[in-house]
């Protein structure tokens, strides 16, 4: 004999399953739409970097030591392709002694002016996306889950903008043509193994010191401070990094590996270590 309750329970179960299915579909649709909109936003920023600024006038004549560095790196003054593109893979640490998180990333960087867009995927299941950019003098950092749910965001503060100009300057070994073409940069020769480069404006101005190795290639970079996020807020800490394993890519001599660190309580905290892949100038290839 069939219990009178069974049809009722069946109906309740059916509607529960249907409701869960509908909610799952709606959530998936939301993620899809939000992710596409966000990627379009990043695509627009990337397009600005790729288009360059043909109205920029040539800068002052570079010191001979800087010109010699550019020559060793194979830099070219080809203004027809105003950006570089490369891919990365590596690991990051969010705090000392934390477990490393693997990432893959792609970056477009301006050759004729300080600008870049870095897009990374990381975390378990690669569900976390990080976008770090500096476009038209505005720094932006956003962390999203599945490209839809924002879990952290910073944009257009003085500390943020200065940190991003420091990043652009520090990455000149991956963007050697900018040594010749970026007229906004100001170079100072300290000695035969030490060069300083400054860029940015007003409160967002930054300066990096490069040390050259015995072959005259950039071995390390450093800045007196870059803002570091703590539970109590942002604090300025010494910031530095190094490059190695130079290889000829698209006619330039590019370091395939690098790492970046802060100095915390007198100790080095390496928070980024990666390898370069598929470096090319101006989307060629």
Residues 192-244 have pLDDT tens digits of 999 999 998 877 899 999 999 999 999 999 999 999 988 888 899 999 999 99
Q: Which of 24-33, 80-89, 182-191 has the lowest mean pLDDT?
A: 24-33
Please indicate whether residue 214 or residue 19 has the higher confidence score (pLDDT). Answer: 214
Is 231 a member of any domain?
yes
Is 167 a member of any domain?
yes
Distance (Å) of CA 257 to CA 89, 200, 242, 247: 10, 26, 9, 10
Number of domains the chain is built from:
1
Is 176 a member of any domain?
yes
Is 17 a member of any domain?
no
Please tell me the distance from the alpha carbon of residue 265 to that of residue 259, in angstroms, as a whole number. 19
The whole-number pLDDT of residue 17 equals: 60
The whole-number pLDDT of residue 285 equals: 39
The whole-number pLDDT of residue 83 equals: 95
Is 64 a member of any domain?
yes
The whole-number pLDDT of residue 9 equals: 53
Question: Which residue range is the domain that position 258 belongs to?
Answer: 30-276
Is 195 a member of any domain?
yes
Is 40 a member of any domain?
yes
The chain-wide mean pLDDT, for the chain, equals: 88
Please tell me the distance from the alpha carbon of residue 116 to that of residue 45, in angstroms, as a whole number. 9
For the segment 11-36, the average pLDDT, to the nearest whole number, is: 59
Residues 6+ apart with CB under 8 A from 12: none
Is 18 a member of any domain?
no
CATH of the domain at 166: 2.50.20
Residue 223 Rama label (left phi>0; alpha psi -120 to 50; beta): beta
């Amino acid at each position: 004999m069939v219990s009178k309750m069974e049809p009722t329970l069946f109906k309740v179960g059916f509607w529960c399953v249907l409701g869960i299915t509908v909610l799952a579909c709606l959530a998936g649709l939301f993620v899809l739409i939000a992710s596409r909109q966000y990627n379009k936003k990043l695509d627009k920023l990337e397009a600005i970097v790729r288009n360059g600024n043909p109205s920029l006038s040539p800068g002052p004549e570079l010191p001979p030591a800087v010109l010699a560095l550019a020559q060793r790196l194979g830099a070219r003054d080809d203004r027809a392709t105003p950006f570089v593109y490369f891919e990365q893979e590596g690991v990051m640490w969010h705090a000392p002694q934390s477990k490393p998180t693997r990432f893959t990333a792609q970056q477009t960087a301006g050759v004729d002016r300080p600008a870049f867009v870095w897009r990374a995927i990381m975390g378990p299941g690669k569900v976390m996306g990080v976008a770090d950019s500096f476009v038209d003098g505005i720094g932006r950092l956003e962390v999203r889950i599945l490209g839809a749910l924002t879990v952290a965001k910073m944009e257009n503060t003085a500390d943020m903008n200065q940190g991003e100009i420091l990043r652009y300057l520090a990455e000149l070994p991956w963007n050697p043509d900018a040594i010749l073409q970026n007229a906004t940069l100001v170079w100072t020769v300290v000695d035969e193994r030490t060069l300083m480069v400054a860029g940015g404006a007003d409160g967002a101005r930054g300066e990096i010191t490069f040390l050259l190795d015995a072959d005259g290639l950039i071995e390390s970079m450093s800045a007196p401070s870059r803002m570091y996020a703590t539970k109590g807020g942002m604090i300025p800490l010494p910031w530095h990094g190094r490059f190695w394993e130079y290889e000829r890519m698209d006619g330039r001599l590019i370091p395939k590996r690098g790492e970046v660190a802060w100095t915390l309580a007198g100790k080095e905290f390496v928070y980024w270590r990666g390898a370069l892949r598929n470096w090319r100038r101006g989307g060629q290839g």
